[in-house]
Amino acid sequence: MSVPPIRIALVGCGRIAGNHVSAIKKLPEFSLVACCDSVADRARAIGEAEGIPWFTSEERMLAEVPCDAVTIATPSGLHPKHGIIAAKAGRHVICEKPMAITLSSADDLVTACDDAGVHLFVVKQNRLNPSIQLLKRAVDKGRFGRIYMANATVRWSRPQEYYDQAPWRGTWEFDGGAFMNQASHYVDLIQWLVGPVESVMARTATLARKIEAEDSGIAILKFRSGALGTIEVTMLTYPRNLEGSITILGEKGSVKIGGTAVNKVEHWAFADYDDDDKAIETASTSPPNVYGFGHEAYYKNVAQVIQGVSRPDTDGRAGRKSLELILGIYESAKTGREVPIPLKVQQ
């Protein structure tokens, strides 16, 4: 007997929504059944293109259209609000990154999903890049020996027009800056791969864009293992996106995964051979944009979890870890001090 598709409703029809729609349409496990956005024209555009009902109210959509899960693709600061509405309606929640912009609101979302008995998925699709999966296996197998240094670099370009297209972008209330928005996947990757962060020191700056938050910044990490790390982020690269990379250097190995969005194995060297070494050529991809191909793989995991045959790749608690590190970076940049992780005071 065939299993009926998991019915997805989409909240938020802006820039990232197309990636979700595309992933859902490619997977037979899912069916997109409705969408909504506070801006009617955006909701109408997706609704009419996909032949589904569209709304300007999430509550009305959930009341009128049966669905199993809700994808939240609204401005970052609104993720908890919309996720909590879905959870209280008994729907699973698939939340774009970051899951929130404060720890208290992230905790509210986790609690709401726990109380409702629904799953909370936080989209971290770059973890699923074939090149990153290969690197993760190398770390887990201990191929690096002791890890000495780790670096994440995001050298992208976001012109002023990008921020002007949506008034919430670059604001502290709804978005944050380059670390919270564009680089959040890279903050997630470095702590996921290298391990818990003990403390962070950071500098941020708004050098060229007319926004409240930062367009550039640098963070220095001390991991609990003793390893050191850096995260370098800017949205001012001329004239276009240049690099989204992560590098790990250890006593027995050195790896750099680069490209514009950690999609290409640029350096791979280990003291000891492993069969994974033969996979480095096929692990590189050429995505059409910095979002990569990971949304489809992420949704496959969502389907497996809802069907009861797998565990979430990134749940609410895992999503909270990278948020906490980003808020630690902001606290250090604000105070000029080294900030211990976990944070003592919720932001």
HSE at residue 212, side-chain half, CA atoms within 13 A, is 11
Give the three-class secondary structure for 48. Answer: helix
29 close to 6: Cβ distance less than 8 angstroms: yes
Nearest to 257 by CA among 266, 249, 248, 52: 266
Tens of pLDDT, residues 230-256: 999 999 999 999 999 999 999 999 999
**Rounded Cα distance, 218 and 313, in Å:** 28
Instruction: Calculate the CA dihedral of residues 176, 313, 281, 152 and round it to 10 degrees.
Output: 30
Domain 6-122 falls in which CATH fold?
Rossmann fold (3.40.50)
Extract the residue ranges of the chain whose pLDDT is less than 50. 347
Burial 132-167 (b: 16+ CB within 10 A, else e): bebbbebbeeebbeebbebbbbbbbebeeeebeeee
Domain residue spans in the chain?
6-122, 126-287+322-340
Nearest to 121 by CA among 8, 221, 41: 8
Q: Which CATH number fits domain 126-287+322-340: 3.40.640.10, 3.30.360.10, 2.130.10.30, 2.40.100.20?
A: 3.30.360.10
Give the three-class secondary structure for 50. Answer: helix
**Rounded Cα distance, 175 and 101, in Å:** 7
pLDDT of residue 347: 44
Return the structure tokens found at 275: 């069969």
Tens of pLDDT, residues 281-320: 888 877 665 555 568 889 999 999 999 999 998 899 999 9
pTM summary value: 0.94
Give the three-class secondary structure for 254. Answer: strand
**Rounded Cα distance, 306 and 263, in Å:** 28
pLDDT of residue 291: 55
Segments in the chain forming alpha helices (H): 17-26, 40-50, 58-64, 79-88, 103-116, 130-140, 160-164, 184-194, 280-283, 294-306, 316-335
Interacting residues of 231 by C-beta distance below 8 A, sequence separation 6+: 151, 152, 153, 154, 179, 183, 186, 187, 190, 217, 218, 219, 221, 329
77 close to 173: Cβ distance less than 8 angstroms: yes
In this chain, the answer to whether the domains covering 6-122 and 126-287+322-340 adopt an identical fold is no
pLDDT of residue 289: 58
Burial 96-125 (b: 16+ CB within 10 A, else e): bbbbbbebebbbbbbebbeebebbbbbbbb
**Rounded Cα distance, 335 and 241, in Å:** 30
318 close to 97: Cβ distance less than 8 angstroms: no
